[in-house]
Amino acid sequence: MHLRRVTGDDRYRTQIEFRQASLSARLMLAMYRPVVMLVQESIIFLFSLYLTVAYIIIFTSFTGYEFMYKDIYDFSQGETALCFLGLAIGLLCCAFLIPHNAKLHARDVSRAKTVDPHGKAPPESRLYWAMIGAPTLPTSMFWMAWTARSDISFWSPLSASVVTGFGMLCVFTTCYQYLIDTYEAYAASALSCLTLMRYLVSGAMIEVSIPFYKNLGVPHTLTILGCINAVLVPVPYVSYRYGPWIRKRSKYGKMFASGLLSPLGERRNLSQLDNTIFTHGHRTSSQGALPELSEYPVLEYDWCDLINLVKFWGVYGDSIGCSYIHPSKECINGDHQEGVMVHRESNTGDTVLLNMIHGLHVLTDEHELSKGRIWGPWLQYLNDGSLGDAYAKYDKEVESWPYSFPSSDIEPGYHQRISSVQGVITSSDGASVLLGDNQSNQLSAEHGANYYYHIISDGDRRFVFENVRRTTYAPLCLGKQ
């Protein structure tokens, strides 16, 4: 609590705070999204299916090699085990070529930056080696199936296993990279879908493969595996060709199709100012000369705050000041965390005054911009650099709140207000009191999501919310430690 109060950064939480939610609630939060993504996201489903089949080939070889090399070629158990070196050699051959794959991706990044300095290569640029490796898997299966005979040297199926290892690593690494680039912040959920599905199915196939090899024999079993894999060979090619179209129509992939983190992403009001004129900054708990540009990588979060802690925020010099004044404390936290920061532009060193509304940067990771809801509003106030004048302007704006807006442009009921909501809490003074939606199943680190009003109780443990919109709220109190 002390770190949160000093830094204004609500992300500082102790482990015990995360444990306040029930075990079942935490498990649901951790498990529901991967299942939903597996069902809803065609990209994840296809690549999960594809890698599952590829892993079935590898896992069934644990039992299949004994039927192939021991029964057909009369190898001992030790000699049969040595045959797995073929797979290992194939894996190494692919590993040596991974730097070339990185060069291809770097080439696509360079091309993207020629169009947009902040551009990124599309996720499909990760699929080059998957398209090379995809045909090699069924090819090696057919090769092994049709040459694993006593009248043909064991070197033939052993050579085929080298091709299997090569194709396997080509497909595995590039598929993982593709999903990571496609889903970015949701990559962990996407990969957990893929991992769970392929290990459960391919692991179970070890037992299933034994009667297959016994009853069908090596040639027919490997031919069936090759045919199944051949059906899925088009997956990386289709993804390369139609990936952008698919991502734009997916719930999660579309969040990153345009390079944004989410539908909300990070939206900013930004003022870039001359650092020789605007030399000082003012925040909640400090004011004074701004750090040098070289110090900002270390000190940048010393000059940021959450909106609910500030009256105004600004930079100033000897004869001019620029401040952001926010007269209300509603709609300022939760999913659309609103914060302010004094920063420096990395190329010019100019002073930058930021008001940010951001989603994934803080707290929760599910964000849809609420239709009609007002964020802010902010008054950008220019004066002679006097902090006293800026405080006086803040008090004047508070008296004028709430502002009037055209009803057609904002959420229904915005102008329907009651004078105040007030009370006394039994916790200690200085506790956070919030009014908002009922989200009792959330982790404590996410309490604040969708809460529209926030205030700190006074020395008598009283709190008063002024000009509250008329609707139904759930109260929440977070006592200080």
pLDDT in tens, 33-70: 788 888 888 888 999 999 998 888 888 888 888 889 98
Does any domain span residue 35? no
The residues near 258 (Cβ < 8 Å, ≥ 6 apart) are none
Number of neighbouring beta carbons within 10 Å of residue 374: 16
Both 81 and 93 in one domain: the answer is: yes
Give the CA radius of gyration of the chain.
30
Instruction: State residue 454's pLDDT score.
Output: 74
The CATH number for 431's domain is 2.60.40
* Contact in structure between 276 and 344 (CB atoms under 8 Å): no
Instruction: State residue 421's pLDDT score.
Output: 84
Residues 454 and 434: their CA atoms lie apart, in Å, by 5
The CATH number for 303's domain is 2.70.98.10
Both 264 and 234 in one domain: the answer is: no
- Residue range(s) defining the domain that contains residue 231: 41-257
Residue 453, classified by CB atoms within 10 Å of its CB into exposed (0-12), middle (13-18) or buried (19+), is: buried
Both 153 and 126 in one domain: the answer is: yes
Instruction: State residue 364's pLDDT score.
Output: 43
Q: How many domains are contained in the chain?
A: 3
Residues 162 and 157: their CA atoms lie apart, in Å, by 9
Instruction: State residue 18's pLDDT score.
Output: 44
470: nearest Cα among 441, 442, 435: 435
Does any domain span residue 466? yes
381: nearest Cα among 455, 323, 462, 318: 323
Does any domain span residue 224? yes
Does any domain span residue 214? yes
Does any domain span residue 30? no
Instruction: State residue 19's pLDDT score.
Output: 42
Token code pair at residue 53? 């089949």
Does any domain span residue 407? no
- Compute the C-alpha angle 232/238/242, nearest 5°: 155
Taking only the tens place, the pLDDT of each residue in 310-350 is: 778 888 999 999 988 878 766 554 445 566 677 777 777 78
Instruction: State residue 374's pLDDT score.
Output: 55
Does any domain span residue 311? yes
- Compute the C-alpha angle 40/44/46, nearest 5°: 105
* Contact in structure between 315 and 278 (CB atoms under 8 Å): yes
The residues near 219 (Cβ < 8 Å, ≥ 6 apart) are 145, 146, 148, 149
Both 156 and 213 in one domain: the answer is: yes
Token code pair at residue 467? 């000009």
32: nearest Cα among 281, 263, 366: 366
Residues 461 and 90: their CA atoms lie apart, in Å, by 70
Both 211 and 157 in one domain: the answer is: yes
Q: Which phi and psi (to 5°) does residue 478 adopt?
A: -115, 105
**Which of 257, 283, 298 delimits the end of a domain?**
257
Both 157 and 251 in one domain: the answer is: yes
Both 253 and 363 in one domain: the answer is: no
The residues near 25 (Cβ < 8 Å, ≥ 6 apart) are 441, 442, 443
**Which of 257, 287, 318 delimits the end of a domain?**
257
Both 174 and 45 in one domain: the answer is: yes
Both 251 and 271 in one domain: the answer is: no
Both 239 and 100 in one domain: the answer is: yes
The CATH number for 66's domain is 1.20.1250
Both 245 and 268 in one domain: the answer is: no
Both 341 and 386 in one domain: the answer is: yes
Q: What is the pLDDT along the chain (481 residues), one digit of tens a residue?
A: 445 555 555 544 544 454 445 566 667 766 777 888 888 888 889 999 999 988 888 888 888 888 899 888 989 989 989 999 999 999 999 888 888 888 888 888 888 878 766 667 888 888 888 999 999 999 999 999 999 888 899 999 999 999 999 999 999 888 888 988 888 777 888 888 888 888 888 888 888 888 888 888 888 999 999 999 999 999 999 999 988 888 877 766 554 444 444 444 556 677 888 888 999 888 766 788 888 877 766 666 677 776 666 778 888 999 999 988 878 766 554 445 566 677 777 777 788 887 766 554 444 444 455 554 555 667 889 999 998 999 999 999 888 877 776 665 666 666 677 778 888 887 667 787 877 766 555 544 444 445 567 778 888 888 888 878 777 777 777 766 5
Residue 404's identity, in one-letter code, is S
Residue 292, classified by CB atoms within 10 Å of its CB into exposed (0-12), middle (13-18) or buried (19+), is: exposed
**Which of 218, 233, 257 delimits the end of a domain?**
257
Does any domain span residue 36? no
